[in-house]
Amino acid sequence: MKIAFIGFPLALGADRKGVERAPGYFRKAGVIEMMSGIAGCYDLGDVQSAIIAEGKHEADSELKYLDTIVDTAAQLMDKVASVIRQGYFPLVVGGDHSLGLGSVAGAAIACENLGVIWFDAHGDFNTEETSPSGNLHGMPCAALMGWCRSSMKEVPRKTVAPENFYWVGTRDLDPGEVQMAKQNGLHIFSAEEVRHRGMNAVMDDIIADLKERNINKVHISIDIDSMDPRLVCGTGTKVRNGLWNGDFYTFLDRIFLTRSVVSADLVEYNELLDDQYHTTATWCLEALHYLAVKIKGE
């Protein structure tokens, strides 16, 4: 399957500069040419908002840059849905994880009964009431499940059922998220569980549940802070005791073997936080290379 590369050069959801540079950085590093040689790749450019972000709290006293992020996510949603319907694989590169609101919403339009695997140190299902920061990159899953009250909830044309979400590598939930996870019985596979049981055992559980729920279309959203910061330092919300390369590549191997993956994100690389050797950039490029190989097989 051929890849449609979509850039999302936005840092407003994280309220920290640097991640907006990532799509351009990877293009300059030759990622389009690399993926073209593996699977075929069309660069669809960047999703840009027509709404200028003049202040953090334009529309809502609790939510930063709400109007701009909602507008950009809605544009991304339409683009992802169109790409899938045309038979291509949208690969969205951020930018911060607020983009997941648009990419998952787009995949949900194009695919019935979509499953979502959120590969992340964080849950990203805070609501306006539970968010300690007002940063929207911590809320896309809540909006996709229909839990938000702001205009974020208006982006998805179809909500994704909570039982269709699977979090992998999670290890930093806010208090409100902990409560909501318990109340809703969310599928959360922590980094500690991965270390204890192994990624293969975790994927056995996820794949079995996907089959039981008759989910044969899956979006994977990869936040690089899922990885241990000793391996991946160039990201803004590092959390200790993360996942390692064996975990990551086993995850990709197992989920792509199901032949169900229809779209993917890679988010939160911050060039300004990388080390002098650009080790995190190198990790991301290797991850994108491996993704391209797996997408070709789809």
Report the catalytic residues.
Answer: 97, 120, 122, 124, 137, 223, 225, 268
What is the amino acid identity at position 62?
Answer: E
CA distance 121 to 193: 13
Show Cβ contacts of residue 213 under 8 Å, excluding neighbours closer than 6 positions.
113, 115, 163, 164
255-281 burial, b if ≥16 CB within 10 A, otherwise e? bbebebbbbbbbbbbbbebbeeeeebb
Residue 189: exposed, middle, or buried by beta-carbon count in 10 A (0-12, 13-18, 19+)?
buried
